[in-house]
């Protein structure tokens, strides 16, 4: 196995925005533990302007050191889900669990961004107030504006006309939503574990905590502006999807804690509570409740980009009916593909099947 090499990238990016740093990543081995050429990956964290005044958004860029090739086909933007921000989702620093680094080693220039009120992006004043004082924050129509700002920033920074969007969970919903309005900016679209149009979601729809029990078609606004997410709750949900007593058969036993430690580090208030917890806006829950009860935010028939729909067979956020509905409605996508990863949950990217999943996505990107 080749030795690890520490690289550096002592430059500061300028992009009409405040930049809060450029840094380096150690020489990385080829994915999956295979022998491979050492690669130095540069990491640049940018703060870009949102479309709305007073909002700044984290946009992280990762690529091979010295890369000068930028095209619609090799520039990727990751969009995160409902609870955790993009950096712990797609760039986890534990062992070889960074999907971003894996793609960079395959020749891609990777971006990941946080919507407002998440991670390294601006948190509005309401996030510091008691949750009960406000209605759900970061509704999807606002996150959509943040996605637009990210895409526009990447296009301008790298002088490309299109980017590839990869969204996970709510991020898949946002990637589809954006693409249904701006397919001209989307080279390819990957919808990983998308919620779409299955109206019997046990976690999101009728009978769930998201429903106002006295007014069944109304969202439960008592949930407030945001929620507090703990490692125990996240791991408990994950455990509930793994259909085996021994959860370690699906994942490295250290991954749940490593993942959540990285997520907690993105919220400066996380350690002020016992147990430590991450603040996560509830706008996604309100909109997902509508999506899961027959009131869709967007229509896949308006997407004109090649699209991959992919998920695990034990996912309880994205059901087969969601993915089948997408395949039915993607009437204008020049290419559409539905891939199921067996023995996998909503958290495939942190499980033992992750490289099978990564390879399926890469195959689609290279077709």
The 3-class SS string of 22-47 reads EEEEEEECCHHHCCCCCEEEEEEEEE
pTM: 0.90
Q: Could you tell me the residue ranges of all domains in the chain?
A: 19-366
Give me the residues of the chain with pLDDT under 70, please.
Answer: 1-37
Backbone angles phi, psi at 246, to 5 degrees: -90, 100
- The 10s digit of each residue's pLDDT in 133-146 is 999 999 999 999 99
pLDDT reported for residue 38? 82
Domain 19-366 adopts which CATH fold?
Answer: Rossmann fold (3.40.50)
pLDDT for 202? 86
Beta-strand pair 186-192/226-229: unpaired
Q: What angle do CA 141, 143, 144 make, to 5 degrees?
A: 60
pLDDT of residue 37: 61
Residue 117: CB atoms within 10 Å: 25
Residue 355 CB-density burial (10 A; 0-12 exposed, 13-18 middle, 19+ buried): middle
CB 187 within 8 A of CB 303: no
């Amino acid at each position: 196995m080749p030795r690890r090499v520490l690289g550096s990238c002592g430059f500061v990016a300028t992009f009409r925005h405040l930049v809060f740093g450029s840094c380096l990543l150690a020489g990385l081995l080829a994915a999956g533990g295979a022998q491979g050429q050492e690669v130095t990956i540069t990491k640049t964290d940018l703060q870009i302007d949102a479309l709305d005044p007073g909002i700044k958004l984290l946009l992280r860029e990762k690529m091979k050191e010295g890369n000068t090739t930028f095209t619609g086909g090799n520039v990727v933007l990751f969009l995160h889900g409902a609870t955790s921000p993009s950096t712990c989702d797609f760039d986890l620093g534990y062992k070889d669990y960074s999907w971003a680094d894996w793609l960079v080693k395959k020749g891609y220039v990777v971006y990941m961004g946080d919507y407002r009120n998440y991670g390294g992006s601006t948190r509005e004043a309401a996030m510091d107030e008691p949750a009960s004082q406000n209605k759900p924050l970061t509704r999807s129509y606002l996150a959509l504006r943040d996605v637009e700002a990210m895409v526009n920033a990447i296009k301008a920074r790298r002088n490309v006309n299109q980017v590839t969007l990869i969204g996970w969970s709510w991020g898949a919903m946002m990637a589809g939503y954006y693409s249904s309005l701006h397919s001209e900016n989307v080279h390819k679209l990957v919808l990983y574990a998308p919620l779409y149009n299955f109206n019997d979601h046990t976690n999101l729809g009728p009978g769930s905590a998201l429903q106002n029990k006295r007014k069944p078609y109304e969202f439960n606004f008592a949930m407030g502006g945001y929620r507090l997410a703990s490692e125990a709750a996240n791991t408990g949900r994950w455990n509930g999807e793994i259909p085996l007593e021994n959860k370690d058969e699906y994942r490295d036993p250290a991954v749940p804690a490593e993942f959540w430690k990285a997520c907690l580090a993105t919220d400066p208030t996380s350690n002020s509570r016992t147990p430590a917890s991450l603040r996560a806006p509830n706008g996604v829950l309100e909109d997902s409740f509508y999506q899961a009860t027959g009131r869709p935010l967007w229509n896949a028939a308006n997407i004109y980009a090649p699209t991959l729909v992919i998920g695990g067979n034990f996912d309880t956020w994205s059901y087969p009916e969601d993915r089948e509905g997408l395949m039915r409605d993607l009437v204008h996508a020049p290419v559409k593909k539905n891939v199921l990863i067996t023995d996998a949950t909503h958290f495939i990217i942190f499980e033992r099947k992750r490289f099978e999943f990564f390879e399926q996505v890469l195959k689609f990107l290279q077709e």
